Amino acid sequence: MNKAADDAGDGSELIFADIARDIAATGYSILPNALPAALLDQLSKHVQTMSGADFKKAGIGRESAQHLNQLIRGDEICWINGDHEAGAAWLGWLESLQVFLNRRLFLGLFSSESHYAHYGPGDFYKKHSDAFKGEANRVLSMVLYLNNEWQSEDGGELVIYTGYEAQTPLAVSPSFGTIVVFLSEDFPHEVLPTRRDRFSIATWFRASSASAPR
């Protein structure tokens, strides 16, 4: 990258500032149209070229026995590396966001990991947390949605549990270009059963190299 890593050069600083403001205020941020149009277009075109063979059933750590797993989550995932142009551009944007958030919020984000996810009709992901208190692991979670013309009857909402003792559900439609960012330890969340194919990119930022990714 030639430019300073926090200067994406595409106007993303305005969005980064919105994310930082929301995270500081409430711990989460929901933003429609958060990505540069060219990057969003690149990612959505790439995901459309991917086939079933590119995706693998997602696991849930220790209890990864498939029959147990299916009761908890049904999605298939594909980790993103720099092999494709779209993935490389996405990782660059994430790096810029990481640098910005570290400067603005002193989060000490050190690395990120990111995967495409596909939920087919009937798939869901039961209520869970992306990180566990006291374990140095995921600090910030982010999901980007790549679904054109999502309708309310399509289901598949992300529900994040906000407010006092995480008792207030907030449903987000997985609409094209929407991003949701939240502090991983503080917001349990779930994906309601979807009625059509649902594509997203899930990302986690970690605070240190101490706990190896995956």
Residue 130 engages Mn ion in binding (rule: CB under 5 A): yes
Residue 75 engages Mn ion in binding (rule: CB under 5 A): no
Q: Residue 198, SS3? A: strand
Residue 117 engages ligand OGA in binding (rule: CB under 6 A): yes
Which one, 8 or 109, has the nearer CB to Mn ion? Answer: 109
One residue of 130, 142, 146, 181 binding ligand OGA per CB under 6 A: 130
Burial classification of residue 36, based on how many CB atoms lie within 10 Å of its CB (0-12 exposed, 13-18 middle, 19 or more buried): middle
Residue 203 engages ligand OGA in binding (rule: CB under 6 A): no
Distances (CA, A) of 109 to 52, 81, 125, 205: 32, 19, 26, 6
One residue of 202, 203, 206, 207 binding ligand OGA per CB under 6 A: 202
Angle, to 10 degrees, between the axis of helix 85-105 and the axis of helix 37-49?
140
Which one, 104 or 120, has the nearer CB to ligand OGA? Answer: 120
What DSSP character marks residue 165? Answer: G
Residue 28 interaction partner, one of ligand OGA, Mn ion, none, beta carbon < 5-8 Å per kind? none
Alpha-carbon torsion (178, 184, 185, 190), positive or negative = positive
Residue 47 engages ligand OGA in binding (rule: CB under 6 A): no
Residue 158 interaction partner, one of ligand OGA, Mn ion, none, beta carbon < 5-8 Å per kind? ligand OGA
Could you say which residues in the range 138-157 bind ligand OGA, by CB under 6 A? 143
Burial classification of residue 53, based on how many CB atoms lie within 10 Å of its CB (0-12 exposed, 13-18 middle, 19 or more buried): exposed
Which one, 46 or 138, has the nearer CB to ligand OGA? Answer: 138
Residue 76 engages ligand OGA in binding (rule: CB under 6 A): no
What DSSP character marks residue 91? Answer: H
What residue ranges in 25-167 does DSSP mark as E strands?
28-31, 56-57, 76-79, 111-119, 125-128, 138-145, 158-162
User: Given the rule CB under 5 A, which residues bind Mn ion?
Assistant: 130
Q: Residue numbers of the site for ligand OGA (CB under 6 A)?
A: 117, 125, 130, 143, 158, 189, 191, 200, 202
